[in-house]
Structures are given as structure tokens and as C-alpha cells.
Structure 1
Amino acid sequence: MKRNLFIFSVFICLFSIQGFGQKASIASADKKYERYAYIDAIATYESVAESGYKDEKMFQKLGNAYYFNADLEKAAKWYAELFSMNKEQEPEYFYRYSQCLKTLGEYKEADKMLEQFNKKSGNDLRAKLFVSNKNYLEEIKENSGRFNVTDAGINSEFSDYGSSFIGNNLVFASARDTGGVSKKIFKWTNQSFTNLYSSEVKSDGSMSKPERFGNSINSKFHESTPIFTRDGLTMYFTRNNYLDGKKGKDDQRITLLKLYKASLIDGQWKNVTELPFNSDQYSVAHPALSKDDKTLYFASNMPGTKGQSDIFKVTIKEDGTYSSPENLGDIINTEGRETFPFISDDNELYFSSDGRPGLGGLDIYVSKIENDLSFKKVQNIGAPINGTHDDFSFMIDSESRNGFFSSNRVGGKGYDDIYKFTETRKLLCEQNLIGTITDKETDKIISDSKISLFDENFQFLKANISDNKGNYSFEVECGKKYYVRAEKIDFESNEGTFTIPKSNGKSILSLELEKRIKPIGQGTDLAKTLNIPVIYFDLDKSFIRNDASFELAKIVAVMKQYPKLKIDVRSHTDSRQTTQYNEVLSDRRAKSTRDWLIKNGIEASRLTAKGYGESQLINKCADGVDCSEAEHQANRRSEFVIISME
């Protein structure tokens, strides 16, 4: 008994020691985690977890450490452990787990997590985007298959990413260690800090051996994502908060990222200066330039950021100063990560995001920048560029449709790799809605008419003026419904509607305008002038119906306005029934119409009336010809022809 008690006591002691040791290990890992030393933190957390110890906070941090290190497969394992312990988690864990499940190809389970995320965080733009795009996989499938992708041929076993062109040289960031015996390690990834490298793109598309780019630029900390002005004399790039041998830190003693500028002087990059909207307290990174070099785009988590990082822009002024940073807004940014912007010569914004319905990790998206600097619909550029892992740092030559992007996808050579591609078909469907404005009566063109474009909800979009040939044109989005209104002084306005096809090309919507004040004279048919439709009679009847009375009142008003005006009332039928029957019926109807006008105050001497039956058809629909009801309707008409005005 005493022996058993002794063994039990030893067991309790050992268990207590083990528990104390696990807590000490977790505390140590927590400190590493808080310093963003994720690789070291992971090693400690996993050692404790594999011993059988379970802790909700530990699983959260273990999943996060892998998630922030872009290893979503392993993050999925620990988020699964987290949810098996407690399904009631903060909304963000539902979103992160869904991203990890996509990396594993488990889209149905990922969507279930997003459903829960939406319930817990309905005001989150990521949730709204998911709810409004539940068929996102079908849309991405439609956008896919437009690229031929191959390895760029410059990758190492380390991280290579973030490329840009200067002349024929591709400049990119790499963690490959070429710096001698000692190397400085970035604790986040346990790799060397990245420096800038350059590789010449040869005429056959092959690439030269990468060499360090700009010795005065590379430091002992991170340099990455350069962008160059059109003249090649100015470079913007990302670097850790380090300049002139001094390293800056935030309040948590973390060295963040900043944007820097350098000038090419006598073949050397000199005068490295940081941009004025940097701060020790937040990161600013990954610059991109507009085609005219007057707007600088970048990613940051500065105050005013909606998510983990947003895309901002500043105007580069003539004197070299900068405007205040402007957030690109909800059309582009979400509560997730928006990063790595690129502006093509076609004025398209490409960027990476994990806040939109995608294939997993960071996906690459594109939005056309309008002339007024607003953004069109954001679209996922599809596979094979986008996949289940992080895809980012996209750049394309708008003429050749060749380009590069970076990814940490399976099958790569290193941590991140650079891939080259050729685009075989453009994604952005380009359509022009065009038309001609003419006079309805004369068919003459109408120039200088105001043309307004409205969306399907009748919200005004933009306006145009018809040219000297009566033509107008609008750039519109494929697959959308639009309303067009034409207006001109002395004319009645007219509207038309058109649904744009889902293919590149031109759509035509021409409009006719009628004059408000129409000249009348001998031979004028007042039915056309006054827009009087067919005067309807009941079947085989000739008495005037109430709806016809409303139209005939217009004739009375004109005849009273012009007391000397005389009119011949003419009635016509279609070819159905016999010729004799139609003549008799139409004549009765013409005289019935004349009698109604007399009854309503018009002198009999000013009116004549005759029925013409089917003798004056205005189309092919004679006896025995197969015609539609609309074609027959055109022949059943009433005319009020002016025969004299004196």
C-alpha cells in the first residue's frame, strides 16, 4: 500500500513538473510570437502540442503563426484543433480557417465557415462580398485559362518575389545569401533578409544569372518591390525602417517597413531618402506608379486603414512633394489584406487580396481605372495564375501581354518563386455603346443633343453630346443593362434601353427625337403630327369608343385653334375579310369619326370622310400573305389629312 502511494506521489510530482514545464515553454513561445518570430514560436508550440497538451490560446497562436507565415496547410491543422476544442471563436478565426480549407481544396467546408463568419460579422465587407458572390467559383472559372505560366528561371531555394522592369532588366527581391560568412536572419521566416537582384531578359525570353542590384541600395535589412519612373532616373522601393545606419522601431520595439526614393546619378543609385508619409508606428510598402508617373500607389496599415492592410495613393506634385495619402475605398479595400498594387499602361489596377471570394490565400484581382479615377468592378484574374496558395506581385507589359508574378505554390523551388506568363486572352470585356440621334419625321441627323447614360436602377452615370454626324459613344461594362436618354431644345426627349453582351465589341442604340412644335400644312396627317395611334373600334362596329374619344379630342383642339383648317378623315383596314366588306366597314368608321367631330363642335363643311378598306396597304400583307398581328395592325390606321388651311 505504501509502495503504491509512493508511486502515485511520484506520478503527481512528475505530472506537476511536466505541466509547469509546458507552461514555461508556452510563455517562452508567446514572447517569440509577440516579436513576430513565428518560426521559433512554432517550434516551441508544436513541441508542447505533440506531447498531448491542449490549450485554446496556444492553438490560436499556432494557427496564426503558420497563417501569417503563409503556410496555410499547416495552419489548417491547428485551426481544426482549435475548433474541435471550442466552436465559439471570434469571427476572424472562421475567416482564416476558411482560407486554409481552400488551400486544401475543401471549398464546400470553406464556404460553411464563411457562412458562419457572415452570421457573426454581417457588417464586414468580406462577409457581404461572399453573400453577394456565392457563385464566385463559377465566375473565377470563366476568367481562368487565359495565361501560359512557366518558371521564370531565376529562382533560388529561398524567397524570390516582387519584380519590376528597368530597361531589359528584371529587378526583384531575394533572400538568397551571397553575403559571406555571416548572415542576418529575419525571425519571421528564419531566412536571410531580402536584397534587390537584377537579371537581364534576353531576346529569346531566357534570363541571365541574377546579380545584386545597386550596392548602395542593399542594406543588412529587407529591400524589396522596386518601381522605376519612365525615364529610369528615379526608383521607389521598400525597406525596413533603416537609413544612414540608424534603425527605427515602433512602440513595441518592432522595425516596420517604409518607402524610400533613390536617384540614378552617374550610373549609381544615390540620395536615398524616406518618403514623408512614412511612420515608425505603421508600415508603408510595395510602391506602384501610374503611367504618367504622377500618382504613387502603395500598401499600408496606416490610420484610416480598413483591414490588415489597404491600398493608398498620393499625388506626386510638380515640386516633388506629395499629397496626403488617400485610401482607395471600399471598391478596392476590405477588412483583409490588400497589397502589391500594379498599374498597367492600360490603366488597370492589379492587386492581391485575401479579403475577397477567391481560390485561397492571396489572389490577384484587377479593376479598370476610369477617366474620372473611379474604379470598375473588381475581378479575379483566374487560374492558373491564381491558385490555392499566395499569388501576388503581378506585372504585365500591355503591348506584348507578357509579365511576371510571384507565388508560394506547391512545386516551386523556394519559399516564394517568380513565374513568367503570357496572357492569351484579355479578361476585361470592353464594350462601346454607340448610336445616332435623328429627327423622327425627316430622318435628318441631330447634332449637339445631350445624351445621358443611366444604370439599370436609373442612377445617372455620365453624359455626352452627339457630334456633327449625330453620333454618341459611351464605354460600358459587359453584361449590364443601361438606359440612354437623348434631349434637345425644341424636341421631345426619348429614352432607350440596352443590355450589353458579355463579349468585346460595340453595341448600337440609336434614338429618334420628335419636334415639340411641328409645322403643319396641306397634306399633313394630323394623326402622325399628334402621335395619335389607331382609332380602335369594337369588332365589326363603327361607333366611337371612350379610348378613341381621348385621341379625337386632340383633332378637335387643333381645328378650333385653326378655324379655316379643313380635314379629310380616312379609315383603312387590313386585308383580312373580303374587299367589299372592308370597304363598307372602313367607310362607316370614317363617317362615324366625322360625325363625332361634328358633334363635338367642328362644322360639317370643314370635314370630309371616306373609307379605303384594304386598297392602300402600307406593307406586303395582302390577301393570302402570311403576316404577323403587328404587321396587320400597321394597316389598320386612321388618317386626318389637311386638305385646306384657308
Structure 2
Amino acid sequence: MKKKYLITLVVPLFISFFGSAQQDKLEQATKSYDRYAYIDAQKIFLKVAEQGYRSADLFQKLGNSYYFNADYINAVRWYKELMLDYEKETKPEYYFRYAQSLKSIEAYEESDKYMNKFYGAKSEDLRAKNYQDAPDYLRKIDFQSGRYKVKNIVANSEYADFGPAYYGERLLFASARDTGVFVKRVHEWNNKPFLDLYVGKIKEDSGELEGVKKFNRRINTKFHESTPVFTNDLKTMYFTRNNYNNGNYSQDENGTNKLKIYKSTLVEKGVWSKPEEIRFNSDQYTVSHPALSPDNKKLYFVSDMPGSYGHTDLYEATIAEDGTLGDPRNLGPEINTEGREAYPFVSKSGNLYFASNGHIGLGGLDLYVTKIDAAGNIDGIYNLGNPANTPQDDFAFIINEDTKTGYFSSNRDGGNGDDDIYKFTQLEELREDCEVTLTGVVKDKDTQEVLPESQVTLFDENNEIVETVKVGVKATYNFVVECGKNYFLRADKQAYNTVEELVSTPKVTETITIPLELEKTIKTAQIGQDLGKVLNLNPIYFDFDKYNIRNDASVELAKVIAVMQEYPTMKIDVRSHTDSRGNDAYNKILSSNRNKSTIDYIVTKGKISKDRLTGKGYGESELVNKCANGVPCSVEEHQLNRRSEFIILEY
């Protein structure tokens, strides 16, 4: 028996990033099928559309065929036709695809229009919406809990010890231990003196401190010094001190002593220069708790200067090559609140850690982390969870990301004194709060066989690739994504039709299973097979008790005509069927008339020789289900029997 192979694509073989090399391979492969015919569905559909035929299905398929190949100009052309005449019957996914295509040609205003329609139509899926309800903060904190192993260090005294800072292989911190004065810190210092900087060597095996002593006499004074930070070369330090000008204890107009940041440079081993104020210190507001970016080009600090959102805010300033500071920039309302933000630290990877009582936490000051890029954009704010945070004050967090160890300060229960320094080991990286796992199996749509070596690509809502995987022998994929966002899953495999699924993730941690079923782009079409099934034609409908060709039927018949024009030796037997409702004899006549109309249409419109077509009306004699005379059936079940078949007789 002869066999022919027909391409039944409704979308292209490959998306753009497969490239021409793979297409060349396919072309070479097709040449090996000496006796087979190949029908390019895109070519057929394009030919039909350019002949003036219109339908939602036709424009969807054409738009998709270009969209999946990243040919957005042509995708816009056909999606636009879809929206002009068939918007009411268009699925929301096409609003999004059209909007994405419009963005690619910089038609932003029009794109926004269709994005709004898309969101409106899919609002039940929580797409592109910000969290509108109050967050489940206890669940979120619990989600991050357990990532640290925490221990109080032996070097703590019965007095205040806090504000650790790395100094090479040593650790600096503030303490009131040698003064005999118990210093109570309430988020900032009060005006009690005698808080100095101390230094100790970090033991490599335990992280404990040995040889703890006062730091440098030029730096320590009779007033408070705390929260130091050093440049990478250890030759420049910034630290916090009370407003202390020329030995005088200065106050603002309300009689309050403010904090200032001072800078000192290493003159020679063990000798530091006289500390100098940084340029935006003031007697009227606090500037404190300095931190440096990994490249030492930015200074982060805390202030309540005019323009702050709350009690104290986090700021940054650029550091020029000559060491001069640029103007302060508030880090904005995503980080800063009406409460208190303090004690910044920027890790080697660029994570910004800070303490706050303005963000929802466990009580007092809690520790938080966020990612801040070069432009100052914030990527989420996460509470570090327990045991890093407690109902008491937890603050001044530092970490060595190479060793996954670090220190922070806390006045939690069980410590040695007021504030203690705790060392920690990080057991696990930050968990993306509310993680959603997308998983599934890639299968052949017709056979349900798994398809190893398929490529699955995850796109974000801006059509940017997030991740791409090639599935293994079990053809399974897994992606961990964010909650409350839109993603696209796209599956590809050579000789299979590209498929795409739009996913809106929930706002709770969840695993979503999404099977990806691919349809072969090359299908076997034997003599005796229905061309309508090969081409996946929509049903050929007639009006009740009539046999004239309707507009929607003409679109499907145009596809048959295009195939017969492409293959001039092909012969088709047209078979027309009715359902069982009505008189048997009448149905036979009606189906015969419809059959004749169908053949005449193909011959006339397609200029197809009549001897290439045969046909017959079968009435209700060849039902495909149980719905014979007298058997109760639904409208949908009867509809399955009202069908047209285009049986291939020869090529």
C-alpha cells in the first residue's frame, strides 16, 4: 500500500533560536523520502488567507506560525486581522501574544491596550497583580526559618557588645566592657559615654575571638565609637561617633547629641590619621552606621536627614577615585518605612542586609536582606527568619559568603549582657518566598509516548527566556518560579509542532503539573485516509435543511483546494453524512445535495478537474456513535455524525 507523508503544521517546525542549521537538516531529511509528499501548513494557510478567506482559526494559526519563529512583524499582521474581526471569539492568550508582538516593533501604546484586555480577561488567574491583601507574614518568616546555626561567642562581656565588622582576619566591634558602664541601646545610642572599638583575631576552626583588646587610641575617645567598616585594602576606615568637634560634645537646637560618620586612613602600620567628618554630617541630624559596596565605590549609611521617610532611613553615596563623596540618595520606600532602618551591610555578592522595625517581623529590630542593583532597584525584601531573628532586637549582620559564616548582634534572652555578638553558620541559601514548581512530562499528542531530548523553555511575561532544559529519558521538566506572576512554557522537538502553555502562578507555595503534548509535524497519510483529519480541518457545516456552502465552510474547503492544487495528481472521494434526526430517505437526499455542492465548490473555486473528485451522500447510514433513530443523544453527539470526509484515492 502506498504511503505519503503530509506536514500538518499549525505552527512552525522550529522557533527562532534553533536557527537555520537545524532547518537545513530537516530539508535534507525530507529529501530521503523519495515517494512522499510534504505539505507545509503555513504555506497552505497563507495561500488561503491571501485569496481572501477569513476565519479566527486561520488567523490564529498564521499568527502563531510567525510568533513562534520570532517574526513579530508578520505576527502583528495576522493577529491584527484576528482582533479586527474575531476579537469576541479570541482566547485571552492571543491578547498577550499580540501585545508581545507589538512591543517588539515598539508599538507600546497599542501593546498596553491589549495587555489591559489580557489582564482584564484573566484577572481570576491573578496575573500581573501586586499583592493586594495583607501578607501572611508569620508564614513567610517561618518559610525562611532554620537557615542558620547560631551561637553566642565566648568573647562577649556582661556589658554591651555589638556592631561586628571584618578587619582582614580579625573582627572589630563596639563594647562598654572596660568602662564598667552598662550601655542600654534603644535602636540608637543614648548619650552615655565610654563605648569603644575592640579587636580580636578570628579563630579559623571555631569563629571565636582570641586576644581581644582595644583598637586604636587615635580612633577611640571618651565618647561613643561604633560600627566601623574598612576598604578592601584595609587602609581606610569609616566609623560612627558622637558629634564631637574639637573635643567638644556638640548638640542640636533641641539639645540632642547626634551621631556622625568619621573617616580615617592608615598612615603606617598601627598608625591611623586623625578622623575627619564626612561632608554631609550635620549638627541637626544623625549620619551613622557606614557600610561599603564590594567594589568600595558606594558608601551606605543611616540618617534621619530631611527627606527621610521614617525615623531613620538607609542612604547611599558614591565614592569618587579621590575619595570624595557624592550627594546622598535615599534608597526609597521599598526599603525605608516610617519606622527605623539601620545597620546596613553589603555582602560580596551584592546582598544588602539591614535591620528594621518598620517591616513586619517578629518584634523589635529584625534582620532583612534584599538585592540592590547598580541602578538602585530593589529585588524583594526577605526576613531572615528564626533563629537569626527573635522577638528582641537583632541587628548588625555581617557575612563571609565564601565560608558561609558570619556574625550579628542581639539582645535576645540567654545572652551574657545587654547586647551580645552571635556567630552563625549559614546552612542554606535564601529561599525565594512562596516558590512555585512547574513540572510535567513531554509526550506525543497522538501516541502518548514520552519524548526524550525535547527542549522546554521557560519565558517570563516580557517574553524573555528565564531557563531552558533538555528533558531526559523520562521526558520530565521542572522549573522553580515566583508566585503571582505570568510565565510561558514552550516545548520543541525536531519533527514536532511547537506548543506553548501560558501559566499564572498562585500566591502560595505549590507544585503545578502541566503536561506538554507535541503533535508531529510530519504525519503518515495513507491512501484511504481522510484528508480532513490529516489537515485537522474544522467541521464543514451547512445551515439547517440547506446545502449551500457557508462562509465558514468555504475557509476549510479552501484548504482542500490548496492541497489539490499543490498536488495535481491527487484524487479525492468526498463523502457527506447527516445525523439520524429526520426521515432516513430525506437525509439521504439532503446529504447527496450537500455532497454535490461541496464537489461543485471545489471544482469551480479551485479550478480543479472534475474527474479528480468523486462523491456520495450517505445520509445517516454510517454513524460514528450510538445515536441511531430513537436513541436519545445530546446536540454535541449528533453533531459528530454531521460530517464531511475527503478520502484520498490516489496521488
TM-score bracket, normalised by the shorter chain, equals 0.5 to 0.7
* SS of the residue 1:227 aligns to: strand
Letter in 1 for 2:200: S
Distance 1:565 1:226, change over 3 A: farther
Q: In the aligned structure 2, how far is the partner of 1:592 from the partner of 1:263?
A: 96
Encode CA deviations 1:181-210: one digit per residue, 9 max, x unaligned. x99999965754321111111122231142
Distance 1:183 1:392, change over 3 A: closer
* SS of the residue 2:273 aligns to: strand
The answer to whether the 8 A contact 1:311-1:341 is kept is yes
Letter in 1 for 2:553: S
Instruction: Say which of 210, 213, 216 aligns to 1:214.
Output: 216
Distance 1:598 1:536, change over 3 A: closer
1:482 to 2:482 alignment:
no
Q: CA deviation at 1:152?
A: 1.5
The answer to whether the 8 A contact 1:544-1:593 is kept is no
The answer to whether the 8 A contact 2:540-2:556 is kept is no
Letter in 2 for 1:159: A
- Please provide the CA RMSD for this pair: 5.7
The answer to whether the 8 A contact 1:347-1:368 is kept is yes
Q: In the aligned structure 2, how far is the partner of 1:570 from the partner of 1:231?
A: 86
Aligned to 1:144: 145
Distance 1:373 1:130, change over 3 A: closer
Aligned to 1:343: 346
Q: CA deviation at 1:224?
A: 0.9
The answer to whether the 8 A contact 2:176-2:183 is kept is no
Aligned to 1:250: 252
Q: Which structure exhibits the higher relative contact order, with contacts defined as CA atoms closer than 8 Å and separated by 6 or more residues?
A: 2
* SS of the residue 2:140 aligns to: helix
Distance 1:162 1:304, change over 3 A: same
Instruction: Say which of 243, 260, 263 aligns to 2:262.
Output: 260
Aligned to 2:460: 453
Aligned to 1:332: 335
* SS of the residue 2:345 aligns to: strand
Q: CA deviation at 1:171?
A: 0.5
Runs of 4+ with deviation above 6 angstroms: 182-188, 430-435, 491-495, 500-505, 507-515, 522-530, 541-548, 559-565, 569-573, 588-594, 636-644
Aligned to 1:227: 229
The answer to whether the 8 A contact 1:262-1:272 is kept is yes
1:161 to 2:162 alignment:
yes
Instruction: Say which of 276, 280, 294 aligns to 1:277.
Output: 280
Letter in 1 for 2:369: V
- For 1:303-342, what aligned pairs fall within 5 Å after superposition? 303-342=306-345
1:423 to 2:423 alignment:
no
Q: CA deviation at 1:563?
A: 11
Q: In the aligned structure 2, how far is the partner of 1:590 from the partner of 1:340?
A: 87
- For 1:8-407, what aligned pairs fall within 5 Å after superposition? 132-178=133-179, 189=190, 191-205=192-206, 206-267=208-269, 268-370=271-373, 373-407=376-410
Encode CA deviations 1:563-621: one digit per residue, 9 max, x unaligned. 96966478999xxxxxxxxxxx9xx999967852533633434546799xxxxxxxxxx
Letter in 1 for 2:202: V
Letter in 2 for 1:258: K
Letter in 2 for 1:226: P
After TM superposition, the structure 1 stretch with the greater mean CA deviation from structure 2, 389-398 or 206-215, is 206-215
Q: CA deviation at 1:393?
A: 0.5
Q: In the aligned structure 1, how far is the partner of 2:353 from the partner of 2:574?
A: 67
Q: CA deviation at 1:554?
A: 4.3
What 5-or-longer segments of structure 1 have no aligned partner?
Answer: 1-128, 455-459, 574-584, 612-632
Letter in 2 for 1:453: D
Encode CA deviations 1:60-83: one digit per residue, 9 max, x unaligned. xxxxxxxxxxxxxxxxxxxxxxxx
- For 1:491-502, what aligned pairs fall within 5 Å after superposition? 496-497=502-503, 499=505
After TM superposition, the structure 1 stretch with the greater mean CA deviation from structure 2, 140-149 or 354-363, is 140-149
Distance 1:175 1:597, change over 3 A: farther
Q: CA deviation at 1:150?
A: 1.1
Encode CA deviations 1:421-447: one digit per residue, 9 max, x unaligned. 112222233999999xxxx9xx9x999
Q: CA deviation at 1:256?
A: 0.8
Letter in 1 for 2:255: R
Aligned to 1:620: none
The answer to whether the 8 A contact 2:340-2:357 is kept is yes
Aligned to 1:413: 416
Q: CA deviation at 1:369?
A: 3.2
Distance 1:404 1:162, change over 3 A: same
The answer to whether the 8 A contact 2:549-2:597 is kept is no
Aligned to 1:47: none
* SS of the residue 1:311 aligns to: strand
Q: CA deviation at 1:326?
A: 1.6
Letter in 2 for 1:423: Q
Letter in 1 for 2:556: L
Distance 1:485 1:529, change over 3 A: farther
Q: CA deviation at 1:271?
A: 4.8
Q: How many residues align?
A: 464
Distance 1:476 1:463, change over 3 A: farther
Encode CA deviations 1:60-116: one digit per residue, 9 max, x unaligned. xxxxxxxxxxxxxxxxxxxxxxxxxxxxxxxxxxxxxxxxxxxxxxxxxxxxxxxxx
The answer to whether the 8 A contact 1:591-1:609 is kept is no
Distance 1:275 1:528, change over 3 A: farther
Aligned to 1:535: 539
Q: In the aligned structure 1, how far is the partner of 2:340 from the partner of 2:428?
A: 28
Q: CA deviation at 1:502?
A: 8.7
Letter in 2 for 1:151: N
* SS of the residue 1:231 aligns to: coil
The answer to whether the 8 A contact 1:225-1:286 is kept is yes
Q: CA deviation at 1:317?
A: 2.5
Q: In the aligned structure 1, how far is the partner of 2:233 from the partner of 2:510?
A: 34
Letter in 1 for 2:356: S
* SS of the residue 1:598 aligns to: helix
Q: CA deviation at 1:261?
A: 1.8
Q: In the aligned structure 1, how far is the partner of 2:154 from the partner of 2:576?
A: 81
Q: In the aligned structure 2, how far is the partner of 1:372 from the partner of 1:330?
A: 15
Q: In the aligned structure 2, how far is the partner of 1:502 from the partner of 1:231?
A: 45
Q: In the aligned structure 1, how far is the partner of 2:163 from the partner of 2:176?
A: 12
Q: In the aligned structure 1, how far is the partner of 2:149 from the partner of 2:510?
A: 21
Distance 1:198 1:594, change over 3 A: farther
Q: CA deviation at 1:142?
A: 2.1
Q: In the aligned structure 2, how far is the partner of 1:162 from the partner of 1:550?
A: 79
Q: CA deviation at 1:297?
A: 1.4
Q: CA deviation at 1:390?
A: 0.9
Normalised by the length of structure 1, the TM-score is 0.57
Q: In the aligned structure 1, how far is the partner of 2:253 from the partner of 2:167?
A: 37
Letter in 2 for 1:198: V
* SS of the residue 2:378 aligns to: coil
Distance 1:340 1:563, change over 3 A: same
After TM superposition, the structure 1 stretch with the greater mean CA deviation from structure 2, 284-293 or 554-563, is 554-563
The answer to whether the 8 A contact 1:498-1:509 is kept is no
The answer to whether the 8 A contact 1:406-1:416 is kept is yes
Q: CA deviation at 1:365?
A: 1.2
The answer to whether the 8 A contact 2:438-2:481 is kept is no
Q: In the aligned structure 2, how far is the partner of 1:415 from the partner of 1:464?
A: 51
Distance 1:477 1:297, change over 3 A: farther
